[in-house]
């Protein structure tokens, strides 16, 4: 499976990567159930929560063993 990037759409990440929802919630991004957030890029959704999109992508890749 390909690595997650900050440009990927949240809905695609949640739908295609098992465990991504839980990992996102662990960093404070409870927006995984918000329809508006699911159409945003990981970078944009991260910024709303005061997080760096690249750091969140790196975290997800590490947590999901994609790194």
Residue pLDDT, tens place only, 34-51 = 888 889 999 999 999 999
- For residue 40, with 0-12 CB atoms within 10 Å meaning exposed, 13-18 middle and 19 or more buried, which class applies? middle
pLDDT higher for 67 or 13? 13
Q: Any idea which of 6-10, 22-26, 30-34, 53-57 has the lowest mean pLDDT?
A: 30-34
Q: How far apart are the C-alpha atoms of 45 and 6, rounded to whole Å?
A: 10
> Which pLDDT belongs to residue 13?
96
| Three-state secondary-structure class, residue 43 | helix
Residue corresponding to tokens 């990992």? 23
Q: Between the CA of residue 62 and those of 36, 45, 65, 67, what are the distances in Å?
A: 26, 19, 5, 5
Residue pLDDT, tens place only, 21-32 = 999 999 999 877
pTM over 0.85: yes
């Amino acid at each position: 499976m390909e690595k997650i990037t900050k440009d990927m759409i949240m809905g695609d990440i949640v739908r295609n990567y098992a465990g991504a929802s839980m990992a996102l919630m662990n960093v404070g991004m409870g927006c995984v159930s918000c329809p508006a957030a699911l159409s945003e890029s990981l970078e944009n959704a991260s910024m709303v929560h005061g997080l760096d999109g690249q750091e969140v992508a790196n975290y997800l890749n590490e947590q999901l063993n994609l790194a």
